[in-house]
A and B are shown apart, each in its own frame.
Chain A
Amino acid sequence: MAEPFIKIENLSYTYEEEDANASPVLKELSLRIEKGEFVAVLGHNGSGKSTLAKLINMILLPTSGKIFVKGKDITIENMRDEELLELRKTVGMVFQNPDNQLVATVVEDDVAFGPENLGVPSRKIRERVDRVLRDVGMLEYAKHEPHRLSGGQKQRIAIAGVLAMLPECIIFDESTAMLDPLGRRDVMSAIEKLNREQGITVIMITHYMEEAAVADRIVVLDDGKMILDGTPSFVFEHEDRLRECGLAIPQGTELIHKLRRAGISLEGECVTLEDCADLIERSLENKGN
């Protein structure tokens, strides 16, 4: 089998500073992520999902275990600066609070920050900035000041800032958690577009089921361990297991499950609200016949 894009082996992590016998946040986690995949990492607060993100980007070093990105071990100590920059260029990260990740006072300057750090020639930076701002639908705001934009717009600027480094993978660490529904929808559609149209590997850390439903694959973490791994419809089948770790399946899916339990036959998968509506419609049509 070919080398996966990201390979995680027996990864454990314990936050040391608090107290000596703190329990590990991640326990012997193993995971493989292929190039171009759209993976949602679901978990309740404290399940270790954000820690996982920080480990992949080498903000944290694991207590034990290995992480390979494109076949390269990134958990070695004393990594050379060039290697570290190369990793962070390959795997970009968008954080939760849009205000705390924008550096410059003008949108386009902020987007240029990454490529400037990488030493890209000026003219090329200009091209990239214009292109990625168009990709996230924010080109008309290029000269604006970030603090005057809405949360969703700021978050799309943050995405553009990462995109400008031409990453192969972007990790979204609860990037929609602080946004209003409208902003969340805009950011989600921007993320989907990146994955579908540009083939960028997306690792989306979230606790919103509705967002996870969009992914190709869902990994559910609970207490530092992986408890479920599969397609959204597979994961949503395990309603009880999810409930145990404090997660609820999307309402549409829950409705279908309840209808099935009540003895109504509904054929097919149900992940999104649209699926739910389709299934019910089809079932009613069948009845009519």
Chain B
Amino acid sequence: MKGISFGQYYPARSPLHSLDPRVKIILTLLYIVCSFLCKNVLSYALLLLSALLLVALGRIPLRIVLRGLRGVLFVLAFTALLNVFWTSGEVLLFEWKFIKIYLEGIYSAVFIMIRIAALIIGTGMLMTYTTTPIALTNAIEDLLSPLKKLHVPVHTFAMMMTIALRFIPTLTEETDRIMTAQKARGADFSSGGLIARAKALIPVLIPLFVSAFNRAGDLATAMECRCYHGGEGRTRMNVRHMRFVDVIPLFLIVAFGAALIVFNILAIGYTL
């Protein structure tokens, strides 16, 4: 259990790793928007290329990124099939009873697969693979800080996130310990149907909850003793200053979006 790592963070030294997390969040949002701009073969090719470029920039082995796609393989296949069978068009390729497959269907299936894959790879590369969860939390707090004026408790939410992240390994270890203790007394977690197994977990969950509440009480006291009094008047040890290098990617993504639009207007190749 000691080796547990949460999230998908992959430690490496790369331009993407060192980029300001705030910029990365904005880039991710813009990247998602861009992926929906694509309309024809050329722009989808550019989208696919951009995803691969991001993998190269993040210096993360391609097999690890592809492993991340494995989870959505079913969704990918399913949407592709739906598109193949349900898109009607002009060029009929195959017909058998009620099944009609059009060239347009094949295109849109490929397009949708590229879009989903690029979305997952792109957002993964920009955020989860290259940014630690804690850096992401801090960045979200920074980006949302204007909402403080509207009395949205941004700091409190960020603090909750931080503490949740901090306690995931602790509580995982605890679960392990309780389960071992229950097994030693004859509990059986691995046989029986779904309901039997769920029932077997109750004696694990109750002590886990009790201990989690105790921990929460202790932690609150400890935090008070270290002068925690909310976000007001708080400073940070690591303040990130936006450097010029951090701004360049923002221009690049705007250029990327513009290129996609231009390709759409040129309408080379098949257009949706």
Do the two chains bind? yes
Task: Please report A residues at the B interface, Cβ cutoff 8 Å.
Answer: 57, 59, 81, 85, 88-89, 92-93, 95, 97, 99-106, 108-109, 112-122, 125-126, 129, 145-148, 161-162, 165
Which of B219, B233, B236, B238 has a CB less than 8 Å from the CB of A103? Answer: B219
- The 6 nearest A-B residue pairs measured at CB: A101-B222, A100-B218, A112-B237, A147-B169, A117-B227, A125-B237
Known: A116-B237, A121-B235. A104 touches B166 (CB 8 A): yes
Which of B133, B162, B222, B237 has a CB less than 8 Å from the CB of A100? Answer: B222
- Chain A contacts for B226, CB-based, 8 A: 88, 92, 103, 113-114, 117, 161-162, 165
How far is B227's CA from A117's CA once the two chains are assembled, in angstroms? 6
* CB of B225 closer than 8 Å to a CB of A: yes
How far is B216's CA from A100's CA once the two chains are assembled, in angstroms? 8
Q: Tell me the interface secondary structure of chain B in the complex.
A: helix
- Chain A contacts for B169, CB-based, 8 A: 145, 147
Which of A97, A119, A165 has a CB less than 8 Å from the CB of B234? Answer: A119
Interchain CB contact under 8 A, B166 and A103: yes
- Chain A contacts for B132, CB-based, 8 A: 105
Interchain CB contact under 8 A, A105 and B221: no
Q: List 16 A-B contacts (CB under 8 A).
A: A59-B221, A88-B224, A88-B225, A88-B226, A100-B218, A105-B134, A106-B134, A109-B237, A112-B237, A113-B226, A113-B228, A117-B226, A117-B228, A117-B234, A129-B237, A145-B169
How far is B219's CA from A110's CA once the two chains are assembled, in angstroms? 13
Interchain CB contact under 8 A, B237 and A122: yes
Question: Considering only CB atoms, which chain B residue lies closest to A106 in the complex?
Answer: B134
Besides A129-B237, A147-B2, 15 other A-B contacts (C-beta < 8 A): A59-B224, A93-B225, A95-B221, A100-B218, A100-B219, A101-B218, A101-B219, A103-B222, A104-B134, A105-B132, A112-B236, A116-B236, A117-B234, A119-B234, A122-B236
Tell me which residues from 113 to 165 in chain B have a Cβ below 8 Å from any Cβ of chain A. Answer: 132-134, 162-163, 165
- Chain A contacts for B197, CB-based, 8 A: none
* CB of B215 closer than 8 Å to a CB of A: yes
* CB of B229 closer than 8 Å to a CB of A: yes
Tell me which residues from 205 to 245 in chain B have a Cβ below 8 Å from any Cβ of chain A. Answer: 214-215, 218-219, 221-229, 233-239
* CB of B170 closer than 8 Å to a CB of A: yes
How far is B180's CA from A43's CA once the two chains are assembled, in angstroms? 34
- Chain B contacts for A115, CB-based, 8 A: 235, 237
Interchain CB contact under 8 A, B215 and A105: no
For the complex formed, measure the closest distance between the CB of A4 and the CB atoms of chain B, giving whole angstroms: 22
Interchain CB contact under 8 A, B237 and A103: no
Question: Considering only CB atoms, which chain B residue lies closest to A87 in the complex?
Answer: B227
How far is B223's CA from A147's CA once the two chains are assembled, in angstroms? 18
